[in-house]
Chain A
Amino acid sequence: MALRAGYLGGCAALAVAALLTAPPAQAQDAAALNAEAAQNDWATHHGTYKSYHYSGLEQINAGNVKNLEVAWMHFPERATRGLQSTPLAVNGVLYYSGSYSRVYALDGATGKTIWTYAPELDEELVAKQTHSPYNRGIAIGQGNLYVGTVDGRVIAVDLKTGKPNWDTKLLDSKKVTVGFTGAPLVVKDMLIIGAQGGEWPGRGPIFGLDTKTGQKKWQFDTVAGTEEAMATWGNDSWRTGGGGGWMPGAYDPETNSVWWGTANPAPLYDWSGADWKKSGPRPGDNLYTTSVIALDPDTGKLKFYHQELPHDAWDFDSAVGEFVMIDRGGKKLVVHANKSGYVFVYDRSNAKIENVWALVKNINFVKGIDPKTGELIGRRDLVAGKADTPLCPAIAGGISWNSGAYSPKTGLYYKIGQEWCMELTVEKTTPILEPMAQLNIGAQFKLVPPPDGPAMGHLDARDPVSGTKKWEVNYKEPPLASVLATAGNLVFVPDAEGVVHAYNAESGQELWSHNNGMGHNAGIISYMAGGKQYIAVPAGWGSLVSDEYIALYGEPFKSMSKNTGALVVFALKQ
C-alpha cells in the first residue's frame, strides 16, 4: 500500500500515524509473518516464515526501476570481513548487524541513526577463530532485537532504546571454538538459534530460548542428538563432531514445526572409500549432520527429518538453503537447496521426498539422486591420496549460504548456482577432540574450473518443484549475496564485483544496475517508510568463499577493499 501523507487528512492521517507508531510487538502479528509476501515490514530474515525473500511492494516496478537511485547510506564501524547480514525493517525503522555483532537502528526514510549497540566481545577468542567476526543477521519480536555473538552468547536489545535486556551465554566458545553467526528465528515466545559447526569438535547444538528472559528452554544436538543418531557414529566418532545449524530455518505453523538445516560432520573429507559404514574416521550415516530436521519449537523435540547426504564426505551442508513453503496441487511442500547443487522438494508434514533436481551442471560426487526416494546413486567415496579427477562442485558448493527468492506472482524460484570443481588429495588425519582446535579438514585441495568451461555463476529462474528452467543469466563470477523478488515484477541480484542488478522477473531482461564499488555477500530486502518503498543492501566483501576469488579471478578482487562496508539504500527519484 503506497501512502502519500500530503493526500491524507483527518481520520485517515490519524490511522496512518497510528500504524507508523504501532509498538513493535504488534507489528509481529502471526498473519503477516506467515504471509507469502513481506509487505511494509521485512520482519524476519527470510522475509516471512514462508521464506520467499519476496516483497509484495510494487511502487518500484519494471516500468520505473530505471529511476532507482541511492537514497542514503550508512557506514558501520569495524566491518571486518565486510558485511554479511540481512537487514530487517519494522515500522519504518531499518535494523542491521555488522561484524562483532554490532547492531544499528536507522530511520528507514533518511538513514538517521536512532541508536547503535556494540557488545563487548572476547577479542582474544575472536583472534583465534577462522569463521569470525562476521554476523549474518538478527531477529525481532516481543519488543526486542536479538543477535548472536561469535563468543557464544545471544543478546536481546530493546527495540526502542538499543539497551540490552538480557545477555545469555550458551556456548563455551573457548572450548568448542565456535559461536553464533547466523540469524535467530522468533517463533511465538521462543527464540531459536543454531551454533556454527561442521569443522570443529562439538555437538552442533540448536537452542530454544525464552524471548522475554533469555532463559534456555531446550537444546537439540545435531550430532548424535538421539539414541538412534548416536548409533550412526561408529567408534565413538561423534566426539569429533561437526554439525550445527549456522543459518536460520523457518516455521510452519500448520504443523507447529521449525525446519532447520544442519552442517557437515568432521573431518570434512574421509578416506574410507566404499567401506564408510564400517571404517574411516566416522563410520556410519553420522546423524543428524547434513540433514533437514523438523523440531517442535516449544520443546526442541525432533519430529521428523531427512538426511540429504548420509555420511557426507564432501562438505555439502544442508545448513545452507532457505525453506520455501509452497502449496501446490493440494500438496503442502517445502523446497530446500543443499550445498551440493541439488534442490530437494519435501512433503511439509513428514519430510518425505517429492522431488530432487539439480541446479548446477557440474556435479560428480554422485551420479545422481533418486527423485522419488532421495537415495544417492553412484556415490563417489574417496580414499587417501590424490583424487583421479577433480571433485565437483568444489568445497564452496554448487549453492552457497545466501538465499534465493520465490515469486508467487510468476511461480518462479530465482536461485544462484555455482560452477567450479577442485583438485583434492585426501589425507588421513588424527581425530581432533581437544578444546580450541582449529578446523578438521582431512584434505589438501585447490579450486579449479569445471570441465565445461571457466568457473562461473548463474541466476536461474525455475519452477521450484519440477526444476524446469525458464531463463538464466550468467556471471563471470558467482554472485554471493541473497536474491530479492518483488511484486513489481523485479528480481534484484547484488553481484560479486559490486553491481546491483534488477531484472524483469518474467524474462530475465536487465532493466537497471548500480555499482556499489565493492562486492556483496549479504542479504537484500525491500520495505516501506513514510509511504515510500526502499531497497536496502549491505555492500562489503570478505566472506570465506569470496576470499577464493583472488586466486580464481584476479582483478577486481585482488584490489577490492576488504574489512569495510556500507549499507546502501535505494528509492525512486522524486
Chain B
Amino acid sequence: MAILWPCLPTRALADQSTSAGSTSPLANAEASPNDINGEQMFATTCGFCHQDGGRAAGRGPKLSKTERSDEFIVERIKKGKLGSMPAFGSVFSDGQIIAILAYIRGLDD
C-alpha cells in the first residue's frame, strides 16, 4: 500500500519565524503534514548524514530520486539501522515523518 501524501509547500514555509521563543518542531506532533516544514526538519537533523540536503551521499546514502518505496523510507526513519542511523519513531510524529518523506520525494539531483 502506498502512503498518500499531498503536494506539500515545504519551501514556502522556510521563511517562517524562527525567533528563540518560537515553538519546537516536536511541539507540532499533532500537526498535519501540510503544516510541517520538511525541508527545515531535514536541515535540522537528517542533513548531518544525508548531505547536500539529501542530494549527495555522505555519512548516509543519497536520497534524491531514490528507488526505495515510501513504506521503506518511513520504516527506516521510524526504526533506523543499527550502527548507521538512529530510530526516529518515537521522536517524530507520523505527520513530521510524512513531511520529511515529501521533502525527499521533491528533491532534484
Residues of A within 8 A of B (CB): 80-81, 127-130, 132, 199, 234-237, 239-240, 267, 281-282, 423, 425, 427-434, 436-447, 542, 544, 547-548, 550-551, 562-563
Pair A562/B23 contact, Cβ less than 8 Å? no
- Within the complex, what minimum Cβ distance (angstroms) separates A286 from chain B? 13
Which residue of the partner chain A has the closest CB to B62? A551
Pair B86/A438 contact, Cβ less than 8 Å? yes
In the complex, which residues of chain B have a beta carbon less than 8 angstroms from the beta carbon of A439?
Answer: 44-45, 48
Which residue of the partner chain B has the closest CB to A433? B24
Residues of B in contact, count (CB < 8 Å): 40
Pair A235/B20 contact, Cβ less than 8 Å? yes
In the complex, which residues of chain A have a beta carbon less than 8 angstroms from the beta carbon of B44?
Answer: 267, 427, 429-430, 432, 439-442
Q: List 10 A-B contacts (CB under 8 A).
A: A128-B80, A128-B91, A129-B86, A236-B20, A240-B20, A429-B44, A430-B23, A431-B21, A434-B26, A551-B58
Pair A444/B88 contact, Cβ less than 8 Å? no
Which residue of the partner chain B has the closest CB to A445? B51
Complex CA–CA separation, A544 to B60 (angstroms): 10
Does B47 sit within 8 A of A, measured CB to CB? yes
Does B8 sit within 8 A of A, measured CB to CB? no
Complex CA–CA separation, A425 to B55 (angstroms): 13
Pair A425/B86 contact, Cβ less than 8 Å? no
Contact of B45 among A239, A438, A548 (CB under 8 A): A438
Complex CA–CA separation, A554 to B21 (angstroms): 44
- Within the complex, what minimum Cβ distance (angstroms) separates B85 from chain A? 8
**Known contacts A432-B25, A434-B27; is A444 also within 8 Å of B83 by CB?**
no
- Within the complex, what minimum Cβ distance (angstroms) separates A484 from chain B? 27
In the complex, which residues of chain A have a beta carbon less than 8 angstroms from the beta carbon of B22?
Answer: 430-431
Contact of A235 among B19, B39, B47 (CB under 8 A): B19
Specify which of A434, A439, A444, A563 lies most central, judged by the most chain B CB atoms within 10 Å of its CB. Answer: A444
Complex CA–CA separation, A446 to B51 (angstroms): 5
Pair A446/B56 contact, Cβ less than 8 Å? yes
- Within the complex, what minimum Cβ distance (angstroms) separates A427 from chain B? 4
Report whether over half of chain A's contact residues are helix, strand or loop; otherwise say mixed. loop
- Within the complex, what minimum Cβ distance (angstroms) separates B79 from chain A? 8
Specify which of A236, A437, A544 lies most central, judged by the most chain B CB atoms within 10 Å of its CB. Answer: A437
Q: Which of B32-70 contact A (CB under 8 A)?
A: 39-40, 42-45, 47-49, 51-53, 55-60
Pair B52/A432 contact, Cβ less than 8 Å? no
Contact of A436 among B20, B42, B82, B90 (CB under 8 A): B90
In the complex, which residues of chain A have a beta carbon less than 8 angstroms from the beta carbon of B20?
Answer: 234-237, 239-240, 281-282, 431
In the complex, which residues of chain A have a beta carbon less than 8 angstroms from the beta carbon of B14?
Answer: 427-428
- Within the complex, what minimum Cβ distance (angstroms) separates A334 from chain B? 32
Which residue of the partner chain A has the closest CB to B21? A235
- Within the complex, what minimum Cβ distance (angstroms) separates B53 from chain A? 4
In the complex, which residues of chain B have a beta carbon less than 8 angstroms from the beta carbon of A544?
Answer: 59
Pair A441/B45 contact, Cβ less than 8 Å? yes
Other than the known A430-B40, A444-B43, A563-B83, what 10 A-B pairs have Cβ atoms closer than 8 Å? A129-B86, A239-B20, A281-B20, A430-B25, A432-B44, A434-B26, A445-B47, A544-B59, A547-B84, A551-B56
Pair B51/A551 contact, Cβ less than 8 Å? yes
Pair B86/A547 contact, Cβ less than 8 Å? no
Pair B24/A432 contact, Cβ less than 8 Å? yes
Pair B88/A547 contact, Cβ less than 8 Å? no
Complex CA–CA separation, A74 to B62 (angstroms): 36
Which residue of the partner chain B has the closest CB to A269? B43
Contact of B53 among A444, A447, A562 (CB under 8 A): A444
Pair B91/A438 contact, Cβ less than 8 Å? yes
Complex CA–CA separation, A321 to B105 (angstroms): 41
Does B74 sit within 8 A of A, measured CB to CB? no
- Within the complex, what minimum Cβ distance (angstroms) separates A27 from chain B? 36
Complex CA–CA separation, A325 to B51 (angstroms): 39
Pair A444/B80 contact, Cβ less than 8 Å? no
Pair A128/B21 contact, Cβ less than 8 Å? no
In the complex, which residues of chain A have a beta carbon less than 8 angstroms from the beta carbon of B88?
Answer: 128, 438
Pair B40/A429 contact, Cβ less than 8 Å? yes
Specify which of A132, A240, A431, A562 lies most central, judged by the most chain B CB atoms within 10 Å of its CB. Answer: A431
In the complex, which residues of chain A have a beta carbon less than 8 angstroms from the beta carbon of B73?
Answer: none
In the complex, which residues of chain A have a beta carbon less than 8 angstroms from the beta carbon of B47?
Answer: 441, 443-445
**Known contacts A425-B53, A428-B18, A446-B51; is A128 also within 8 Å of B86 by CB?**
yes
Complex CA–CA separation, A164 to B39 (angstroms): 46
Complex CA–CA separation, A235 to B47 (angstroms): 26
| Pairs A-B, 3 closest by C-beta atoms | A427-B43, A235-B20, A547-B59
Which residue of the partner chain B has the closest CB to A542? B83
**Known contacts A430-B22, A441-B45, A547-B59; is A80 also within 8 Å of B83 by CB?**
yes
